[in-house]
Every structure is written in structure tokens, then in C-alpha cells.
Amino acid sequence: MMAELRYNHAVNRAMADAMAADPTVVLFGEDVAGAGGVYGATRGLRDRFGAERVRDTPISEAAFVGLAVGAALSGLKPIVEISFIDFMTFAMDAMVNQAAKMRTMFGGQVSVPMVLRTQNGGGAGSGPQHSQCLEAWFAHVPGLKVVCPGDPASAYGLLRAAIADPDPVIVIEHKALYAMRVPEPEALPILPIGKAVIVRPGRDLTIVSYGGALRAVAETAATLSAEGIEAEIVDLRSIQPWDEAAVLNSLSHTHRLLIVHEAVEAFGVGAEIAARMADIGFDELDAPILRVGAPFMPSPIAKALERRYMPNTNSILAAVRRLLA
């Protein structure tokens, strides 16, 4: 059986490699040390790097994320985990009013080299308080960087980049991707924050997506291809900053743009991409810019409703048909 790389193992390996390379990298969060995290992404790290560097925290999100900010100001490179992005409601201040603003506010005296790892998304019937995709909140905050890895290699490469980055980076993994496996890649490079990748070339339309929605997008593209419609898929990878040039470039040869993400469509990440392209990409557009995102309601728990709530081949296909009509 050929070697495979699992998403949660890629996350784990990124932290292990970074901690092995740099003794100032530390990790803490709820149940990351003893239990190895809800999704096993931190398993084995305390045994390997010791109880000083890998710590379980009490259920005090505001305090331990704030602690990470102070640690980053004083010589450490903390990785702090919030087990569901939904719980960021308790830890907004440290990221938004402190970490994000310190470099500017203190006149460049400091950098805040911290990483906040969390996960978003649905598909597990986890319900309205455990399935949200709140990346747009953080992308709106100057001083923060936000990445959303959509496959194991990105999970490794973006997390390594985030840990190496001198500024605060929020790494948003996806709960439904932790079990995703790919053949072990030849190499696992550190990936540049802010760079998108064309995961599928195509001439007929551009589909911009990221994170958990990429799989449904890829399936849809395969279906379309059978009909002779070639969709170009751009995986943003980074949400803040995002790769405007890559999207514009793709649009400039397909002239049609669809944005797909799992987050609520209204005021979501796709809105910014559409808005920018309706400005700098206006002359390239042969059709309206369309978006597929969650409808304006909290996540349902019933499987059938949740499937319909999340972007799926039906909803994406329908949008593509409209776009090409």
C-alpha cells in the first residue's frame, strides 16, 4: 500500500517540523497536549517536545489567546488552538484589538509572530454553534492574515508559512477535511501566504473557491468537463491577503466568474472578490458575477438540510448554467 498524507497528519507534521527547527515555537489550547486535539492534529507533540512547550489550557479562550499575544511580544512564537471557530466569539479582543493593531499602533516597535489555529465548516451535523465559517470577520481586520487550506499539502505548507510569518496569522482548517488523504507528495514545500493556485485549468469560466468547498467544486468541474465545459478552478488558499492578480488573470481569459464558498453568502468572502472584480475586472466580464454560498440561515442539523445548506454539485451546477446561459 502506497504512502498517503492525511490532512490532520499534515497539520501535525507542520507543527512538529516547526517546533523541531525553532525552540521558541510553543503550542497550547484546550486538550491539545494530553488528548492531542479533538481531531488528532496535535497528537504526540507533547511527548515529543515536552510539557513546557505543549500545554493544555483551561476553558478560558479570552485569556489564553491574549496570553499568546503577550508571549509573541516577548520572544516566543506561539501556536494557539481554538477547537471550533465558533468559540472565537470569546476570543475576539486579543486578535482584533490587540494582535492585529499592535504593530501599527506601536509605531513598528513590535511584530506579533503568533498563529491561531482553528477549524470551521459543516458536514458533520454539528449544528448552528459548531459549523460556522467566520473567516470574513477576520479578513476585514487590518493587521491579521487568514489562510484556509483545502488539502493536505496546503495544510502543511500554509501552516509552516504561518508559523514562520512575523505577523499574526489565523489558520482555518476544515473539520470535514481532517480525514482527507492524498498520495504522499514528493515534497512538502512551505507555501507563500497570499498566493492562489490553479487546481484545474479551463477556458470557459473561472470558479474561485477555497477550503471545504473545493471538493464540490472539483466534482462539478468534472461533470461539466464531460459536457465539454472547462472550468478553471482557482484555490485562493489565502483569504487575507488574497491573490487578486491570480483571479484577475484567470478572469481575463475566461471572462466569466463564479465564487463558491461554504460561508454564508451575504457579506462573506466572495463579496469582496466579486466587488474587486466588478471594479478592476469589469472590462473582462462577459456575464454577471455569481456566488454560491450558504443561504442566510443558521446551519441545519438534519443531514438532508445540511447537504442542501452547503455548496454542492447541484447548487454549483445551477450557478454555472446561469453563468453560461
Partner 1 sequence: MGKVSQHAALYRMVATIRQVEEALAALLAEGLIPGFIHLSIGQEAVAAGVMSVLTQADTITSTHRGHGHAIAKGMKLEAFFAELLARDSGACRGRGGSMHVADVANGMLGANGIVAAGIPIALGSAFAHKTLKRDAVAVAFFGDGAMAEGLLHECLNLAKLWDLPVLFVCENNGWGEFLPTEHQIVFTLDKLAAAFGVPHRTVDGNDVGAVAKVAGEVVAKVRKSGPMILECLTSRVGGHYEGDPQRGRDPAEQVAAKARDPLEIARARLAEGEADKIDRDVTGAIAAAIAFARVAPEPDWDVAAASVYTSAA
Ligand X SMILES: Cc1ncc(C[n+]2csc(CCOP(=O)(O)OP(=O)(O)O)c2C)c(N)n1
Residue ranges that bind a second copy, judged by CB under 8 A: 62, 86, 88-90, 92-93, 96-97, 100-101, 104-105, 127-129, 134, 136-137, 139-143, 240, 263-264, 266-272, 274-275, 277-280, 282-283, 285, 287-291, 296-298
Residue with cell 503568533: 114
Q: Which of 9, 130, 174, 261 is catalytic?
A: 130
Q: How far is the CB of 131 from ligand X (least distance, A)?
A: 13
Spatial strand order in the sheet of 231-235: 197-200, 231-235, 205-209, 257-264, 290-294
Cell of 185: 507528495
60 residue type, one letter: S
Helix (H), strand (E) at residue 116: strand 115-120
Considering only residues 72 to 131 of the shown chain, the ones binding ligand X according to CB under 6 A are 83, 87, 90
165 touches partner 1 (CB under 8 A)? yes
Return the number of the residue (64 or 178) whose C-beta is nearest partner 1.
64
Q: How far is the CB of 272 from a second copy (least distance, A)?
A: 4
* Shortest-Cβ-distance residue relative to ligand X: 87
The strand ranges marked E within the chain are 4-6, 25-29, 54-56, 77-82, 115-120, 145-147, 169-174, 181-183, 197-200, 205-209, 231-235, 238-240, 257-264, 290-294
Yes or no: say if 158 and 193 are a contact pair by the CB < 8 Å rule: yes
What does 280 interact with, of partner 1, a second copy, ligand X, none (CB < 5 to 8 A by kind)? a second copy
Q: How far is the CB of 98 from ligand X (least distance, A)?
A: 12
Question: Pattern of binders to ligand X over 41-60, x per CB under 6 A?
Answer: ------------------x-
Return the number of the residue (71 or 136) whose C-beta is nearest partner 1.
71
Among 21, 302, 314, 322, the residue binding partner 1 under the rule CB under 8 A is: 302
Yes or no: say if 118 and 171 are a contact pair by the CB < 8 Å rule: yes
Q: How far is the CB of 296 from a second copy (least distance, A)?
A: 5
Task: Look up 306 and say whether it is catalytic.
Answer: no
Burial of 40 (0-12, 13-18, 19+ CB in 10 A): middle
- 282 vs 257: CA distance, rounded Å: 11
Question: Pattern of binders to partner 1 over 76-95, x per CB under 8 A?
Answer: x-x-------xx-xx--xx-
- 84 vs 241: CA distance, rounded Å: 22
Yes or no: say if 211 and 218 are a contact pair by the CB < 8 Å rule: no
Q: How far is the CB of 64 from ligand X (least distance, A)?
A: 11
Q: Which of 9, 30, 61, 284 is catalytic?
A: 61
Among 14, 25, 26, 30, the residue binding ligand X under the rule CB under 6 A is: 30
Residue (of 220, 243, 215, 247) closest to 231 by Cα position = 220
Return the number of the residue (21 or 35) whose C-beta is nearest ligand X.
35
Please, what is the angle between helix 214-226 and helix 313-324, to 10°? Answer: 50
267 touches ligand X (CB under 6 A)? no
- Within 113-258, residue ranges assigned H as helices are 135-139, 152-164, 214-226, 244-254
Among 48, 288, 295, 321, the residue binding partner 1 under the rule CB under 8 A is: 295
Return the number of the residue (91 or 257) whose C-beta is nearest ligand X.
91
R_g of the chain, CA atoms, integer Å: 19
143 touches partner 1 (CB under 8 A)? yes
Binding residues for ligand X (CB under 6 A): 30, 59, 61, 83, 87, 90
Catalytic residues: 61, 130
